[in-house]
Amino acid sequence: MNEDFENFIVSRDAEVVAGLWAKFEALGSYELATYAHSLGLYPPGFEEGQQHSISEYAPPGHEGRGYLVWSVGLWSPEVDDQDDEDDDDGDDPWAALGIASIAPDDGSKGS
């Protein structure tokens, strides 16, 4: 896995990830990030006073839960309001960066 992508995964510790998933629905993305900070987890380039969020990212074709990733500083495709027949809505933004997506190591076997 690409190191740049790996840095945005909130945690690889199965127990920590399970705890974050347990709070994922009840808390908003910013509140989940605040909770993660209380556990000593921070995104790359963290500076005190910045507001961060955590989102789920599941690569196209991925089954089961995706990754919990820091949403700050990640590349995202440009928004294009025009219908373009050449657009492929299934494009994986990580693949566009040459990053291979793998299943998260959260101790689960998927859904």
- pLDDT tens digits, residue range 40-82? 999 888 888 778 899 998 878 888 888 899 986 544 444 444 4
Note the pLDDT of residue 94: 65
For a pLDDT cut of 70, what percent of the chain falls above it? 59
Q: Is residue 59 part of a domain?
A: yes
- Name the residue type at position 45: G
Note the maximum CA span of the chain.
46
Q: Is residue 111 part of a domain?
A: no
Domain count, the chain: 1
Question: Range with the lowest mean pLDDT among 9-18, 24-33, 59-68, 88-97?
Answer: 88-97
This prediction's pTM: 0.60
**Three-state secondary structure call for residue 54:** strand
The arithmetic mean of pLDDT across residues 95-111, rounded, is 56
Q: Tell me the residue range of the domain where 11 lies.
A: 3-74+91-96
